[in-house]
Amino acid sequence: MTIQKNSALRLILMLLTLTCVLFAAGCSTAPKPTANMEPPLHVSSDILKETVVYSVDVYDPLEGFNRRVYTFNYYFDKFIYLPIVNTYEFITPNYVEDRVSNFVDNIFEFNNFVNNLLQFEIKDTGITLARFVINTTVGIAGLWDPATLWGLPRQTEDFGLTLAHYGVGHGPYLVLPILGPSNLRDTTGLITDTVAFSLAGPPAWVDDNDATLIFNLVTAVDKRHRQSFRYYQNGTPFEYDSIRMLYTAKREIEASK
């Protein structure tokens, strides 16, 4: 009985430790951890604000492929993505970085508006529209976010969550190049959001390929800049498994709201 209790305690401590591994990248054989490693794009800590215990059975029939993409993401993040982001952070004052983040969030209110509308979340749709109008005008092109200060918080949605709203399951787990953890439903949603944003959103309003390209590059750098966690920070050999579990639990939490 004592041995079983000790084993259970070790399991709980391991799960608590794994929750600190909050990013999306991977490898089949874990590289040696260093102090300068950070996760790729997706970070589950932004959503998991409270302690929630989930028993998640993740369907991962493409695990071999996913782990190879995980490895690619790790090296891309270390040798390409992070050096660019670190340079951006070095030359850009924090105040300017915050303005850039606000601007990017304001532009992507388009996706929030469309998906809240598709889910018939009328109140959230109205809040999103009000946020865009207020932040674009009073907030000067979205560089500031007075809407949040005035009691209109961001209503984040995407087409993956819209599909979940109508009962579509998450399907097989996927690790996307550069972008990190996903699944078949969310990948479909990501493609749909991207196409809709390009054809009917702000890029279509501006109709300037150079401006769109610059915005996309700024968005990629800004999103990575906002993630403070480091790749293999705790040195766990089970990072792929923990990220897979955390991502799936995070999306289930988001879909249940």
User: Do 229 and 22 meet the contact criterion of CB atoms below 8 Å apart?
Assistant: yes
Separation of CA 175 from chain center: 13
Residue 236: predicted pLDDT: 76
What residues does 102 pair with on adjacent strands?
none
Contact at 8 Å (CB) between 109 and 124?
Answer: no
**159 pLDDT band (50/70/90 cuts)?**
very high
pLDDT at position 239: 87
| Gyration radius of the chain over CA positions | 19
107-148 pLDDT, tens digit each:
999 999 999 999 999 999 999 999 999 999 999 999 999 999
**Would you list the DSSP string of 102-128?**
HHHHHHTHHHHHHHHHHTT-HHHHHHH
* Cα(180)–Cα(223) distance, integer angstroms: 13
Q: Which pair of tokens denotes residue 55?
A: 């028993």
Query: How large a percentage of the chain has pLDDT more than 90?
Result: 69
Q: What is the pLDDT of residues 201-233, one digit of tens each?
A: 999 999 899 999 999 999 999 999 998 756 666
Cα separation, 3 vs 12, in Å, equals 14
